Amino acid sequence: MEEIIFQLITYSGAARSSVFEAMSAASEGDFEKSKELMEEARKELLSSHKIQTNLIQKEAGGDKTEVNLLLVHAQDHLMTSILARDLIEKMIEMEEKIKDLESKIVT
Protein backbone atom coordinates (compact mmCIF):
# COMPACT_ATOMS: atom_id res chain seq x y z
CA MET A 1 0.00 0.00 0.00
CA GLU A 2 2.84 2.41 0.79
CA GLU A 3 4.23 2.01 -2.72
CA ILE A 4 0.85 2.96 -4.21
CA ILE A 5 0.62 5.99 -1.94
CA PHE A 6 4.10 7.16 -2.91
CA GLN A 7 3.20 6.78 -6.60
CA LEU A 8 0.21 9.02 -5.99
CA ILE A 9 2.42 11.61 -4.28
CA THR A 10 5.06 11.39 -7.03
CA TYR A 11 2.64 11.81 -9.94
CA SER A 12 0.76 14.61 -8.20
CA GLY A 13 3.95 16.44 -7.26
CA ALA A 14 5.31 16.17 -10.80
CA ALA A 15 2.03 17.55 -12.16
CA ARG A 16 2.11 20.50 -9.78
CA SER A 17 5.71 21.28 -10.74
CA SER A 18 4.77 21.18 -14.43
CA VAL A 19 1.85 23.58 -14.05
CA PHE A 20 3.97 26.11 -12.17
CA GLU A 21 6.66 25.83 -14.85
CA ALA A 22 3.92 26.33 -17.45
CA MET A 23 2.82 29.51 -15.71
CA SER A 24 6.40 30.81 -15.72
CA ALA A 25 6.77 29.99 -19.42
CA ALA A 26 3.52 31.83 -20.19
CA SER A 27 4.67 34.85 -18.19
CA GLU A 28 7.75 34.95 -20.41
CA GLY A 29 5.57 34.72 -23.51
CA ASP A 30 6.54 31.14 -24.37
CA PHE A 31 3.03 29.78 -24.83
CA GLU A 32 4.17 26.76 -26.83
CA LYS A 33 6.34 25.56 -23.93
CA SER A 34 3.52 26.39 -21.55
CA LYS A 35 1.13 24.14 -23.49
CA GLU A 36 3.66 21.31 -23.55
CA LEU A 37 4.10 21.55 -19.78
CA MET A 38 0.34 21.60 -19.21
CA GLU A 39 0.07 18.45 -21.32
CA GLU A 40 2.76 16.80 -19.15
CA ALA A 41 0.76 17.78 -16.08
CA ARG A 42 -2.42 16.35 -17.61
CA LYS A 43 -0.70 12.99 -18.11
CA GLU A 44 0.69 12.96 -14.56
CA LEU A 45 -2.70 13.83 -13.10
CA LEU A 46 -4.32 11.11 -15.19
CA SER A 47 -1.90 8.59 -13.67
CA SER A 48 -2.75 9.91 -10.20
CA HIS A 49 -6.45 9.76 -10.91
CA LYS A 50 -6.19 6.13 -12.04
CA ILE A 51 -4.52 5.21 -8.75
CA GLN A 52 -7.15 7.10 -6.77
CA THR A 53 -9.98 5.50 -8.76
CA ASN A 54 -8.52 2.05 -8.18
CA LEU A 55 -8.39 2.68 -4.41
CA ILE A 56 -11.99 3.91 -4.42
CA GLN A 57 -13.19 0.90 -6.44
CA LYS A 58 -11.48 -1.49 -4.03
CA GLU A 59 -13.10 0.29 -1.10
CA ALA A 60 -16.51 0.14 -2.80
CA GLY A 61 -15.95 -3.58 -3.41
CA GLY A 62 -15.48 -4.22 0.29
CA ASP A 63 -11.67 -4.15 0.44
CA LYS A 64 -11.28 -1.61 3.21
CA THR A 65 -8.31 0.75 2.94
CA GLU A 66 -6.56 1.75 6.13
CA VAL A 67 -6.60 5.53 6.19
CA ASN A 68 -3.36 6.84 7.63
CA LEU A 69 -1.54 10.16 7.58
CA LEU A 70 0.47 9.17 4.50
CA LEU A 71 -2.70 8.44 2.50
CA VAL A 72 -4.23 11.74 3.64
CA HIS A 73 -1.01 13.50 2.57
CA ALA A 74 -1.17 11.82 -0.85
CA GLN A 75 -4.80 12.83 -1.29
CA ASP A 76 -3.90 16.39 -0.30
CA HIS A 77 -1.12 16.42 -2.92
CA LEU A 78 -3.54 15.28 -5.60
CA MET A 79 -6.28 17.76 -4.76
CA THR A 80 -3.92 20.76 -4.52
CA SER A 81 -2.31 19.75 -7.82
CA ILE A 82 -5.71 19.60 -9.52
CA LEU A 83 -6.63 22.99 -8.06
CA ALA A 84 -3.29 24.47 -9.17
CA ARG A 85 -3.83 23.10 -12.67
CA ASP A 86 -7.31 24.58 -12.92
CA LEU A 87 -6.26 28.01 -11.67
CA ILE A 88 -3.06 28.18 -13.69
CA GLU A 89 -4.93 27.14 -16.83
CA LYS A 90 -7.06 30.28 -16.43
CA MET A 91 -4.01 32.41 -15.60
CA ILE A 92 -2.31 31.27 -18.81
CA GLU A 93 -5.42 32.20 -20.79
CA MET A 94 -5.35 35.65 -19.18
CA GLU A 95 -1.64 36.00 -19.92
CA GLU A 96 -2.30 35.21 -23.60
CA LYS A 97 -5.04 37.85 -23.72
CA ILE A 98 -2.79 40.42 -22.06
CA LYS A 99 0.04 39.73 -24.53
CA ASP A 100 -2.43 39.99 -27.42
CA LEU A 101 -3.82 43.31 -26.15
CA GLU A 102 -0.32 44.67 -25.54
CA SER A 103 0.60 43.88 -29.14
CA LYS A 104 -2.38 45.95 -30.33
CA ILE A 105 -1.51 49.05 -28.33
CA VAL A 106 -0.10 51.77 -30.54
CA THR A 107 2.31 54.06 -28.76
Number of domains in the chain: 1
**Nearest-angstrom CA–CA distance, 33 and 22:** 7
Residue range 51-70, pLDDT digits in tens: 999 999 999 999 988 889 99
Task: List the chain residues with pLDDT less than 50.
Answer: none
Radius of gyration of the chain (CA): 18
**Nearest-angstrom CA–CA distance, 65 and 45:** 21
What domain range is 78 assigned to? Answer: 2-104
- CB-side neighbour CA atoms (13 Å) of 102: 7
Please report, in range form, the residues annotated as the binding site: 76
CATH at residue 85: 1.20.58.80
Please report, in range form, the residues annotated as the binding site for Mg(2+): 76
Residues identified as active-site: 73
What pTM, to 2 d.p., does this model score?
0.88
Dihedral sign (CA 40, 42, 43, 47): positive
